[in-house]
Copies of this chain bind each other. A is one copy, B any other.
Amino acid sequence: MTAASSRAAAIAALAEILPGDALLTADEDVERYSRDWSGDHFGRPLAVARPRSVEQVSALMRHCWDTGLRVVPQGGLTGLVGAAVAAPEGEIVVSLERMNAVRQVSPIDFAMVVEAGCILEDAKTAADDADCLLPITFGAQGTCRIGGNVATNAGGFNVLRYGMTRDLVLGLEVVLADGRVWNGLKVLRKDNRGYDLKQLFIGSEGTLGIVTAVAFKLFPKPTQVETALVGLASVEDAMELYARARRACSDLLTAFELILRDGIEVTLRTRPDFPDPLAEAYPAYVLIEASAGGAVDLRGLIETFLGGADDIIRDGVIATSRAQADRLWLYRETMVESQGRGGRYLRTDVSVPISRIADFIAAALAAVRGRYPEAMPLAYGHVGDGNVHFNVIPPAGLAVEALDPLFHGAEELIFDVVDRLGGSISAEHGIGRVKQDAFLARIDPVALDLVTRLKDALDPKHILSNGRILRDDSIIKNR
A192 touches B203 (CB 8 A): yes
Contacts of A109 in B (CB 8 A): 353-355, 386
Interface SS, A side? loop
**A30 at interface by CB-CB < 8 Å:** no
A457→B456 CA distance, assembly (Å): 8
B191 touches A427 (CB 8 A): yes
Interface residues of A in 190-205 (CB under 8 A from B): 190-197, 199-200, 202-205
**A110 at interface by CB-CB < 8 Å:** yes
A203-B196 contact given A188-B427, A246-B220, A385-B190, CB 8 Å threshold: yes
**Number of copies of this kind of chain in the complex:** 2
B247 touches A294 (CB 8 A): yes
A155→B189 CA distance, assembly (Å): 11
Interface residues of A in 212-265 (CB under 8 A from B): 219-220, 222, 239, 243, 246-252
Contacts of A176 in B (CB 8 A): 446
**A387 at interface by CB-CB < 8 Å:** yes
A128→B255 CA distance, assembly (Å): 25
Interface residues of A in 166-208 (CB under 8 A from B): 166-167, 176, 180-184, 186-197, 199-200, 202-205
A194→B328 CA distance, assembly (Å): 34
Interface residues of A in 459-479 (CB under 8 A from B): 469-470
**A153 at interface by CB-CB < 8 Å:** yes
With beta carbons under 8 angstroms apart, the residue of B293, B439, B457 that contacts A453 is B457
A108-B424 contact given A192-B430, A295-B305, A431-B194, CB 8 Å threshold: no
A36→B183 CA distance, assembly (Å): 35
Distance (Å) between the CB of A181 and the closest chain B CB?
Answer: 7
A430→B353 CA distance, assembly (Å): 32
A159→B182 CA distance, assembly (Å): 27
A296-B295 contact given A193-B426, A196-B202, CB 8 Å threshold: no
A residues contacting the other copy or chain, number (CB 8 A)? 96
**A429 at interface by CB-CB < 8 Å:** yes
In the complex, which residue of chain B has the Cβ closest to the Cβ of A354? B109
Contacts of A246 in B (CB 8 A): 110, 220
A111 touches B353 (CB 8 A): yes
A205→B292 CA distance, assembly (Å): 37
A153 touches B196 (CB 8 A): yes
Give 1 or 0 for each of A426-452: 1 = CB within 8 Å of chain B CB: 111111000100010001101101110
A250→B194 CA distance, assembly (Å): 33
Interface residues of A in 157-171 (CB under 8 A from B): 159, 163-164, 166-167
Contacts of A188 in B (CB 8 A): 351-353, 386, 422-424, 427
Contacts of A239 in B (CB 8 A): 108
**A304 at interface by CB-CB < 8 Å:** yes
A189 touches B354 (CB 8 A): yes
Give 1 or 0 for each of A97-124: 1 = CB within 8 Å of chain B CB: 0000000001111110000000000000
A93→B214 CA distance, assembly (Å): 40
With beta carbons under 8 angstroms apart, the residue of B166, B250, B354, B424 that contacts A193 is B424
**A405 at interface by CB-CB < 8 Å:** no
With beta carbons under 8 angstroms apart, the residue of B193, B220, B292 that contacts A431 is B193
Interface residues of A in 134-154 (CB under 8 A from B): 152-153
B293 touches A247 (CB 8 A): yes
Distance (Å) between the CB of A455 and the closest chain B CB?
Answer: 8
Q: List 18 A-B contacts (CB under 8 A).
A: A108-B243, A183-B446, A189-B386, A190-B351, A190-B427, A193-B424, A195-B200, A197-B450, A199-B200, A248-B294, A249-B293, A250-B252, A250-B292, A250-B294, A251-B293, A295-B304, A450-B458, A453-B458
